[in-house]
Amino acid sequence: MLDGEIVLADQHGKEHFQGLQAGEPIAKALQLRYYIFDILELDEINLRTYTLIERKELLELLLRRAKLKHIFHVKPVDLTNGGGIEEAAAHQWEGIIAKRADSQWSCYL
């Protein structure tokens, strides 16, 4: 079980996060991309008790072996001293999800 987001990207790689929310047909010039933030289960093994760093390492290993064209691993960014904020602004990210590297996955419903 993966945690991620599907977005549309144009031929120049510019992402259109709102494109899928409108419910309109997808133009042929656009492609779907799946950005994976986290892995929660693998082969019926619950990974939620593993730390974020452990889950990210496992996810990176799996995706590196799979070599999938339109699936991307969202790698951690160090937010110390505002570095991640500058990177987010430079790449025009929609936002940042902040998690502790040693944290386990939890759901607050």
Domains annotated on the chain, with CATH = 2-90 (3.30.470.30)
Measured between alpha carbons, how far is 98 from 7 in angstroms, rounded to an integer?
20
pLDDT tens digits, 25-76: 777 888 899 999 999 999 999 999 999 999 999 999 999 888 888 898 888 8
Residues 75-95: what's their mean pLDDT?
A: 77
What pLDDT is attached to residue 108? 66
What pLDDT is attached to residue 109? 58
What pLDDT is attached to residue 69? 84
Q: Which residue has the tokens 């093994």?
A: 45
Q: Is the distance from CB of 54 to CB of 24 less than 8 angstroms?
A: no
Measured between alpha carbons, how far is 95 from 109 in angstroms, rounded to an integer?
22
Average pLDDT over the chain reads: 84
Strand order across the beta sheet in which 71-73 lies: 15-16, 2-9, 31-39, 71-73
